[in-house]
Amino acid sequence: MRYTTAGESHGPQLTAIVEGVPAGLRISEESINADLVRRQGGYGRGQRQQIESDRVRIVSGVRFGRTLGSPIALQVENRDWQNWSETMSAFGDPPEDLVRETTPRPGHADLVGVLKTNSDDCRDVLERASARETAARVAAAGIAREFLADLGVEVFSYVTSIGQAKFSEREPMLDAPDYKPLEIELSDVRCPNDAAADAMRLEIDKARNLGESLGGTFRVIARGLVPGLGGYATADERLTARLAAALFSIPAIKGVEFGLGFQAASLPGSHVHDEIKLDPKFGFTRATNNAGGLEGGMSTGMPLIVTCAMKPIPTLMNPLQTIDLDTLEPTEASKERSDVCAVPACAVVAEGEVAFVLADAYLKKFGCDNMADIRAAVASYKQRLKTSAR
């Protein structure tokens, strides 16, 4: 299962096409729209979220609420297009009053993009490099999430820090899978701890007053996975590598950890590796989950736990210094409408990336034609694991 997206931040719409989806999977536009709402939410978001009200429109690959086994095309309209129709017109001559964007922002794709493409207008780059593109990703990921849910897999996330404000967990590798997604979504910073959430809001308020932006960290959890997804024999089938690549495809992500992550490098092996146990009901399991549900490039059957670090948003209300592309003189970087903090929203995007990798891993292991055969294959595999454990 894979997706591709198209569309600019201020173009008419964002489009996503999802391929490799088995036939017979029930799809809900309401569920996808709920995820789009989650992506737009969060304390610290900017004015763009007040303009847009993202809704998905599925235009192919689904009939009477079930997938056909053909590519699925999804569209998300950009309501702000009406204010940019001349500036972002696909054809015709540029308007006489067109203002080119010549002051690239440090930390954004602006400068390197125009150098790469030989453009003289950063808007040619920033429109596509914008985080607005992730709305199409989240819409597409709704298909993968529905597939995983059908097989008993749940993917959710929560925020662990914003700026200097941190959620200090006693045993995160044990506690993380037990948090309740509903409680997380009731928090406007998507943090399951009230005291930490209050501290995060204060950090965002201080940054807003200073014209600053903030990054942070979050965890993505997947519960209900079978062991043996992914592979160990070749580099490209390792689930660890595929998850990391997918998460790093989100422009703002600067770090990814599985389980204990970097902390494991400072501990002796006896404090890192998870002892193997035999459960009479579930078969092979682990006493702990320091590996975050991954060993040797494969899922262990324990909850998948991934921690991601997001950098601060490049657009600042008190801009940094840059060089004007026309004059080659020092000046201030451009200011687009922007968020102070989008860590809670980024976590929702990361859920979708994880869901796509896991969905594809299930299809590679259990078949890809239709849901009836896939469910039967998963059930048979689970039964074999229980039998071999005895």
Q: In angstroms, rounded to a whole number, what is the distance separating the alpha carbons of residues 151 and 224?
A: 8
CB of 362 closer than 8 Å to CB of 371: no
HSE-CB of 136 using CA atoms within 13 angstroms: 27
Q: In angstroms, rounded to a whole number, what is the distance separating the alpha carbons of residues 347 and 361?
A: 21
Q: Is 361 exposed, middle or buried (0-12, 13-18, 19+ CB in 10 A)?
A: buried
Which pLDDT belongs to residue 89? 93
pLDDT > 60? residue 49:
no
SS3 167: coil
Average pLDDT over residues 30-41: 94
- Cα angle vertex 218, ends 168, 270, to 5°? 65
Q: In angstroms, rounded to a whole number, what is the distance separating the alpha carbons of residues 237 and 234?
A: 6
Looking up tokens 């996503």 gives: 16
pLDDT > 60? residue 48:
no
Average pLDDT, the chain: 94
The pLDDT tens digits for 257-303 are 999 999 999 999 999 999 999 988 778 999 999 999 999 999 999 99
pLDDT > 70? residue 46:
no
Which pLDDT belongs to residue 317? 87
- Structural domain boundaries of the chain? 2-389
Average pLDDT over residues 98-107: 94
The pLDDT tens digits for 58-101 are 999 999 999 999 999 999 999 988 889 999 999 999 998 899 99
Fold classification of 2-389 is Chorismate synthase, AroC fold (3.60.150)
Looking up tokens 């897999």 gives: 153
Which pLDDT belongs to residue 283? 84
